Amino acid sequence: MLNFAVTGLIYIGIQCILSLGMNVQWGLTGLLNLAYIVFMAAGAYATSVLTLPKDQPPFTTYILGLNLPFYVGMLGAVLAGGMVAAAIGVIALGRRLRADYLAVVSLVVAVVLAQVIAQDRTLFDGYQGLINVPVPFGAALSPLAYNLEFLGMTIICAAGIYVLCDMLRKSPFGRTLRAVREDDVAAEVFGHNVYVLKLKAFVFGGAVAGLAGSLTVLYVSSFNTAGWSVSETLFILTCLMVGGSGNNLGVIIGTAIVVGLFNQATQLLPIFNSYPVLITEGRIVVIALLLLAALRWRPQGLLPERPSRTEEVSYAGNG
Amino acid sequence: MSGFWLALSAGIITASILGLSSVAMSLQFGVTRHANFAHGELLTIAAYTAVAVNGFEKNLYLDALAGALVSAAVAWLLNLVVVRPFRKVAKRLILLLIVTAALSQAIQGLLAIFFGLNDVVLPVPPQVAHKVGPFTWTALDVLILVTAVAAFITLHLLLRYTSFGRAQRAVADDPVLARVVGINTARIISLTWLLDGFFAGLAGVALAATVGSFNNLLGFNFLLVTFAAVIVGGIGKMYGAIGGALIIGIVTEFSGFYLSSGFKQDFALIVLILVLIIRPNGLFTTLISEVRA
């Protein structure tokens, strides 16, 4: 039972990192990036091919395979996430396109990339994916001890990312991003290069997502194209909306609630023998409905974004 | 040179189905000013309905009609129950994108729960290819082409010569002014969603009939090419949507024939990305209008 709880906490921790990264893109900058999960996948694949030995398991083919230590893999994941984000950002953010366009382009890129990787076995073994990614440390530890150690690493990463994101939010850069979110034309008029700002937010979010992907693949030891679809990005969005987009603490709470309750608790329910599909698909439906409910009745989330503190200005003679 | 005509024949049929879907989306977009990410699900619902009705009565026309009507009803309901209430409270239009994306997921999940995840088949009588002039089509192909053309002509007549059509164009042009003139915009929007669902439903059944077997992702996969056609043709313009569908449909089949059939759809999407980068307002627009969300 304790092992189950620890595993649940690890998943929550990883999801928190993902949510914090998306919070920079959506919460701070207002970018609806439906390809967000691709950055996580980039990180996962990067870690895999950096840490796997050359052609180790039978019947899988992939590039690289350098058998480097896991922390190099994690660093590679951050870089990969950032680079993929930069590439996609250049395509998707280049013009002052309508808000719809970013969503459509990101969706298109996500789907096309998923297809290409699924069909080309030489890159990351197609849709079967990669397996037997080396475990970070202490393979000789008991499962519970290993989980606790991994949880420790996850918490350290999550705390670090939280601090980073909060620093970003409070910084002038963060304020500028929020200005872009509210009115990018006005921001441009005031002299900010909106395209570069959006790109920076994109790359930052991508790097964070890459880290989350790296942690995922290090814990689960495998990764394939089924692990990243549009529904995953919507799941993250739900975590943001429930908790309060723009507010990092709200995002953590929202993630904990959504992941903890829905994902892990439903695993405790007995699988209806005649309807196993009900659980997996039902989860998707419930999450979607939860997102709709949150948007309808509490769009600011549980913890609304804290307004920036400015002095009260009183105008003489206001009636 | 026969390969050229084969590809062109296939391209025209693909364009017909795509045209139905794109025109539907274009109609809806013109009036609501936001993309509907659940559009694909309107096709999927019609396809599943057709299969269900086919279980009772093996008549393809009946199946198609049933599918189209159910999709029309679903579209109308979605507007009534979800989209319209959200439009009243949404601060930014982009929230409606998320709403429709969530709806898309919910519908996919519900369809999987009710119909299972396994592939479903819409049985059609076995088809024989005939030569129609320079083209090579089966009877089903010709039926789809005729349906699409009939639908476009009907829509053209509807929009041009009826009071509903005039009102619809007015709302698409300027909803506030339309209301000032006394047009019941809410009703027009409702009816537009109904039309959107109907044509999308026709496209869904046609797709199901031609594709062999499908699952709950049928419409979603078609959503992206629909976006491609609509954006290439110019958002909100019905005739542009048809033109865009022709371009995308033919490009898809030609690249599938001459290059690689596995990545057929991806070529269409590459066309989309190129158009978005070079001429985001579409190929058939003359106004440089920038609508901000």
> What φ, ψ does residue B284 adopt, rounded to 5°?
-110, 10
Cβ separation A112–B266 shorter than 8 A? yes
Write down the pLDDT at residue A275: 64
Write down the pLDDT at residue B37: 92
Q: Are A98 and B96 in contact (CB under 8 A)?
A: no
State the distance between the two ends of chain A, measured CA to CA, in whole angstroms. Answer: 64
A2 versus B19: which is more confidently predicted?
Answer: B19
Would the pLDDT of A256 be above 80?
A: yes
Would the pLDDT of A40 be above 90?
A: yes
Least confident of A39-53, A257-271, B1-15, B204-218: A257-271
The whole-angstrom separation of Cα B149 and Cα B159 is 15
- Tokens for B93, please give them: 């239009």
- Tokens for B47, please give them: 């396809």
Given B97, B113, B280, which is nearest A281 (Cβ)? Answer: B113
Cβ separation B98–A278 shorter than 8 A? no
What is the secondary structure of B155-195 as a DSSP string?
A: HHHHHHHSHHHHHHHHHHH-HHHHHHTT--HHHHHHHHHHH
Ramachandran sector of residue B92 (left: φ over 0; alpha: ψ -120 to 50; beta: rest):
beta
Question: What is the nearest CA distance from B37 to chain A, expressed in angstroms?
Answer: 9
- Which residues of B fall within a CB distance of 8 Å from A95? 276-277, 280
Cβ separation B102–A278 shorter than 8 A? no
Would the pLDDT of B9 be above 50?
A: yes
Give the predicted TM-score (pTM) of the model.
0.86
- Tokens for B147, please give them: 């349906």
- The interface pTM score, or ipTM, of the predicted complex is 0.83
What pLDDT band is residue A281 in, cutting at 50, 70 and 90?
A: confident
- Tokens for A260, please give them: 């903890």
What pLDDT band is residue A200 in, cutting at 50, 70 and 90?
A: very high
Write down the pLDDT at residue A315: 66
Question: What is the nearest CA distance from B253 to chain A, expressed in angstroms?
Answer: 17
Given A91, A278, A292, which is nearest B102 (Cβ)? Answer: A292
B82 touches chain A (CB under 8 A): yes
- Cβ neighbours of residue A183 under 8 Å, at least 6 residues apart? none
Average pLDDT score over residue span B269-284: 72
Average pLDDT score over residue span B91-118: 88
Cβ separation A32–B99 shorter than 8 A? no
- Tokens for A235, please give them: 């799941």
Would the pLDDT of A205 be above 90?
A: yes
User: B186 pairs with which residues across the strands?
Assistant: none
Which residues between 257 and 276 in chain A have a beta carbon less than 8 angstroms from any beta carbon of chain B?
275
- Which residues of B fall within a CB distance of 8 Å from A229? none
The whole-angstrom separation of Cα A203 and Cα A197 is 10
Write down the pLDDT at residue A298: 85
Cβ separation B273–A109 shorter than 8 A? yes
B277 touches chain A (CB under 8 A): yes
Given A104, A287, A291, which is nearest B227 (Cβ)? Answer: A104
Would the pLDDT of B47 be above 90?
A: yes
Question: What is the nearest CA distance from A146 to chain B, expressed in angstroms?
Answer: 35
B281 versus B61: which is more confidently predicted?
Answer: B61
The whole-angstrom separation of Cα B227 and Cα A20 is 30
Average pLDDT score over residue span B11-25: 93
A182 touches chain B (CB under 8 A): no
Write down the pLDDT at residue B278: 74
**Mutation for A interface: B276, B279, B291, most A CBs within 10 A:** B276
Write down the pLDDT at residue A221: 79
Helix, coil or strand: residue A62: strand
- Which residues of A fall within a CB distance of 8 Å from B109? 281-285, 288
B44 touches chain A (CB under 8 A): no
pLDDT digits (tens, 9 = 90+) for B176-233: 899 899 999 899 999 999 999 999 999 999 999 988 889 888 898 889 889 888 888 8
Cβ separation B273–A97 shorter than 8 A? no
Name the residue type at position A168. L
- Which residues of B fall within a CB distance of 8 Å from A277? 112-113, 116-117
Rg of chain A (C-alpha set): 20
Given B85, B110, B291, which is nearest A285 (Cβ)? Answer: B110
Write down the pLDDT at residue A52: 76
The single residue listed with the structure tokens 């993250």 is: A236
The whole-angstrom separation of Cα B261 and Cα B256 is 4
Write down the pLDDT at residue A296: 86
Q: Are A84 and A39 in contact (CB under 8 A)?
A: yes
- Cβ neighbours of residue A76 under 8 Å, at least 6 residues apart? A46, A47, A50, A214
The single residue listed with the structure tokens 């739900």 is: A238
Question: What is the nearest CA distance from B293 to chain A, expressed in angstroms?
Answer: 6
What pLDDT band is residue A65 in, cutting at 50, 70 and 90?
A: low
User: A130 pairs with which residues across the strands?
Assistant: A223
Which residues between 66 and 85 in chain A have a beta carbon less than 8 angstroms from any beta carbon of chain B?
none
- Tokens for A315, please give them: 């105008």
- Tokens for B169, please give them: 């164009």
Output DSSP code: residue A130.
B
A231 touches chain B (CB under 8 A): yes
Write down the pLDDT at residue B172: 86
The single residue listed with the structure tokens 């319209």 is: B84
Helix, coil or strand: residue A232: helix
B231 touches chain A (CB under 8 A): yes
Which residues between 125 and 144 in chain B have a beta carbon less than 8 angstroms from any beta carbon of chain A?
none
- Tokens for B177, please give them: 């002014």
Residues in chain A: 319
What is the secondary structure of chain B as a DSSP string?
A: -HHHHHHHHHHHHHHHHHHHHHHHHHHHHHHH-S--TTHHHHHHHHHHHHHHHHHH---HHHHHHHHHHHHHHHHHHHIIIIIHHHHHH-SSTHHHHHHHHHHHHHHHHHHHHHH-SS-B--------EEEETTEEEEHHHHHHHHHHHHHHHHHHHHHHHSHHHHHHHHHHH-HHHHHHTT--HHHHHHHHHHHHHHHHHHHHHHHHHHHS-B-TTHHHHHHHHHHHHHHHH-TT-HHHHHHHHHHHHHHHHHHHHHT-GGGHHHHHHHHHHHHHHH-TT-SS--S------
Question: Taking the CA of residue A5 as centre, how many other CA atoms within 13 Å lie in the half-sphere pointing to its CB?
Answer: 2
- Tokens for A190, please give them: 């005031």
Question: What is the nearest CA distance from A75 to chain B, expressed in angstroms?
Answer: 31
> What φ, ψ does residue A53 adopt, rounded to 5°?
-75, 170
Give the burial class of A302: count Cβ atoms within 10 A of its Cβ; 0-12 exposed, 13-18 middle, 19 or more buried.
middle
Output DSSP code: residue A180.
H
CA-nearest residue of chain B to A280?
A: B109
pLDDT digits (tens, 9 = 90+) for A156-198: 999 999 999 999 998 999 999 999 888 888 888 888 888 899 9
